[in-house]
Chain A
């Protein structure tokens, strides 16, 4: 079983829509959780960290459910510029314990 699993999509949504991505992780010892954004042929960039209490940054809301071992990202009022691949990332401590999901591809349509 993979450490981190994501629905690869693609998700094609109209501008202004709300879209949610989920990600599950297999190891309960996982410590830190992040969402990264990767544009086509570019490097991943940190979008936001994910905390158990949930956190919000503008139109983006991230949630962590440790009991069910899943992480979610909600994007409200989608913009064309939100089109990208969203990577779920989980760490367990140590330099080699960073695990990436395969990414969920989002396309926002005018």
Chain B
């Protein structure tokens, strides 16, 4: 039973489209994260949030943006998708520094 939900699970979209990847958690965690992971490669942090109205960029530069208007919701938006954005996007949440829980991911393909 997942406590952190990502939708869509798979997305194939054309170049130039605006997309929003959804992430919601029901655990009341303050901290939320977005990671990008290419097949067989390591995870890279692209955005994180300490709590409502807090957003920061991660270690890997990304053209995406995020918002945190509600504790449970941390959507990621790409204004104009490009083939270079093709990747898996993983959302995670945590309380303090323990027990990071990951969503099942969104596998994005931009054609």
- Chain A residues with a Cβ under 8 A of chain B: 31-32, 34, 41-46, 49, 87, 89, 91, 93-98, 100-103
Known contacts A43-B105, A95-B48; is-contact A103 B42 (Cβ 8 Å): yes
- Chain B residues with a Cβ under 8 A of chain A: 31, 33, 39, 41-43, 45, 48-50, 56, 58-59, 88, 90, 94, 97-105, 107
Residue of B nearest to A43 (CB): B102
Known contacts A101-B42, A102-B42; is-contact A95 B33 (Cβ 8 Å): yes
Interface of A is mostly: loop
Bound: A89/B101 CA distance, A: 13
With beta carbons under 8 angstroms apart, the residue of B45, B88, B104, B107 that contacts A96 is: B45
Residue of B nearest to A4 (CB): B42
Chain A residues in 8 Å Cβ range of B90: 43-44
9 sampled A-B residue pairs with Cβ under 8 A = A43-B104, A44-B102, A46-B99, A94-B97, A95-B33, A95-B49, A98-B94, A102-B42, A103-B42
Chain B residues in 8 Å Cβ range of A44: 43, 90, 102
Chain B residues in 8 Å Cβ range of A100: 42-43
Chain B residues in 8 Å Cβ range of A87: 43
Contacts beyond the supplied A43-B103, A44-B102, A95-B50: 15 A-B pairs with Cβ under 8 Å: A32-B98, A43-B90, A43-B105, A44-B90, A46-B100, A46-B101, A95-B31, A95-B48, A96-B56, A96-B58, A96-B59, A98-B33, A98-B100, A100-B43, A102-B41
Chain B residues in 8 Å Cβ range of A42: 104-105
Chain B residues in 8 Å Cβ range of A32: 97-98
Task: For residue B46, give the distance in angstroms from its CB to the closest CB of chain A.
Answer: 11
Task: For residue A25, give the distance in angstroms from its CB to the closest CB of chain B.
Answer: 14
Task: For residue B47, give the distance in angstroms from its CB to the closest CB of chain A.
Answer: 10
Residue of A nearest to B44 (CB): A100
Pick the 3 closest A-B CB pairs, nearest first.
A43-B102, A102-B42, A95-B31
Bound: A42/B105 CA distance, A: 7
Task: For residue B66, give the distance in angstroms from its CB to the closest CB of chain A.
Answer: 13
